Structure 1
Amino acid sequence: MYDNVVTEGIGKQIANQLRQAILDGRLRANERLPTEAELAERFAVSRPTIREALKHLAAQNLIRSRRGASGGTFVKEPSDAEAQQSLTSAMTLLVSMGKFSSQEIDEARLELERLCCRLAIKRVQKEQLDAMAAEVELQRSDIDDQDFCASDVRFHRALVDATGNAVLQYLMCAVIEALQPLSNMIVFRFRERDRIVAQHQRILEAMKSSDEAAALDALDDQLSYLREQYVKAQEWRAEHRKIDKKE
């Protein structure tokens, strides 16, 4: 089932082999792993080395331990929230490292959210419409920038939820929960709140009337507008860096 390991860093190598077995489906969710003694015999290493390997897997949230007669170490089945948080954290890290250009981010968000919009038009439920309407009302009130940005995220989250597609809901976590907040942090000084609210209202009304063309038009308008503000924000930041260097 596993390859032999003979070089240094054995604990980590064993962890990698067990991790690959989990990813390949050879070890399934909630399946009990062999005991430390059994694993030590299989890999021809000491039990402390096996414990080191298991610590690596636990740190990756891949296994869990249970005490008692029916206890042991089991492959962990991640919850939806844990899986989404993992994806969001990875995307946030990659963006902070400059792995994606702003053009790539804009293009991905536009195409993915347009797809969500088309599905949501056909499947939206009253609870999602109510959630979107509540966010629009909140955005019209006197809230600070942080709360406005959070409401913006929740509005688009409701739109994605309206697709009724679990795969899209999972994938869009990286867009809605990671990329969108990062973009908001950059453009909030330059965007006009009233314009964002009006665009959200147009999307909401189109969803209510099942008008796909109007919904896509409003969504395109918003993302195009935000792209323009993003460019302005970047130019402003570049100019102020020059000024700071001179001083």
Structure 2
Amino acid sequence: MGAQADRAVDPGSTGANAGDALFRPVRAGNAFEETVERLLQAVRLGVVGAGERLPSERELAERLGVSRVTLREAIRALADAGYVESRRGRYGGTFVNESLPAPREHGRRMDAAALEDALSLRHVLETGAAELAAARSLTPADRRHLTGTLAESCAADLTDYRRKDSRLHLAVAEVTASGSLTTAMADARMRINQLLDEIPLLEPNLQHSNVQHEAIVDAILAGDPAAARRAMAEHIEGTASLLRGFLN
């Protein structure tokens, strides 16, 4: 193990340009999700090769601009998914596994253009739906629908989370009173769910999503279209970071 332990990545060596690009500060709104994306990109692009050690926890946290708690959660998620392993001792650290998981459980790696197409459509539809919902005078039934689906998604366990999450997002479209928008959202959501089914459920991400869901619903109920649009945009960009990291 001693020889392998010496194969630690030096971000200032020949891979410096790629390393500098990937290990740059993440945005605060989706720190966990973007950290997972950056680390996955570094592994899958070979910036940190098979058997090599990632930069130290302290260095990575500083370069990514995240807390060490967030970084550890991201590394734990990648370890659970089979990308890295943590070792203790003198030659310890976080090492990239010699054999990496297949990009997708069924079939080839996701085509980058197709992924971006699905994410772009979702961004336009869902941010617009949140903005439109907040601009309407909601009925008491609309308000109950939003708060009810929010409560169900927050209380959902891992086995039922995707379904409850989808139901909440569709509820936002439903309270716009636009049948065409709701239909388009349902179609787009089916595409997104097919992608989400290919990546692991990460508990820190689900906890973060629940907080973001509350912010979206609060802004809609408060009648603040700009805040609703911002909250939705931040939320779906976090999901996009995970999808890009795992599927590209």
* TM-score, normalised by the number of residues in structure 2: 0.50
Q: Which of 155, 163, 173 is the aligned partner of 1:160?
A: 173
Q: How does 1:1-247 map to 2 (within 5 A)?
A: 101-123=114-136, 124-141=138-155, 143-176=156-189, 178-190=190-202, 192-234=205-247
Distance 1:105 1:225, change over 3 A: same
> Alpha-carbon deviations, 1:61-110, whole Å to 9, x = none?
xxxxxxxxxxxxxxxxxxxxxxxxxxxxxxxxxxxx97961111111110
Q: Are 1:135 and 1:154, in contact at CA under 8 Å, matched by a contact in 2? A: yes
Whether the 8 Å contact between 2:133 and 2:225 is mirrored in structure 1 is: no
Shift of 1:183: 3.1
The RMSD of aligned alpha carbons is 2.5
4+ residue segments displaced more than 6 Å: 97-100
The one-letter code of the counterpart of 1:102 is: L
Separation in structure 2 between the aligned mates of residue 128 and residue 182 of structure 1, nearest angstrom? 28
The AA in structure 2 aligned to 1:130 is: R
Distance 1:98 1:228, change over 3 A: closer
Which has a greater percent of helix?
A: 1
**Contact 2:128 2:229 (C-alpha < 8 Å) held by counterparts:** no
Contact persistence 1:114–1:219 (CA under 8 A): yes
**Aligned residues, how many?**
138
In 2, the alpha carbon distance for the partners of 1:107 and 1:167 equals 18
In 2, are the aligned partners of 1:120 and 1:163 still within 8 Å (CA)?
yes
Q: Do 2:216 and 2:231's aligned partners in 1 also have CA atoms closer than 8 Å?
A: yes
Mapped to 1, the partners of 2:170 and 2:132 lie a distance apart of 14
Per-residue deviation, residues 184-212 of structure 1 (Å, max 9, x unmatched): 31344246111100110001100111111
Residues 182/173 of structure 1: CA separation in 2 closer, same or farther (3 Å cut): same
- Structure 1 alignment gaps of length 5 or more: 1-96, 236-247
Point out which structure has higher relative CO (alpha carbons under 8 A, 6+ apart). 2
Displacement after TM superposition at 1:128 (Å) = 2.9
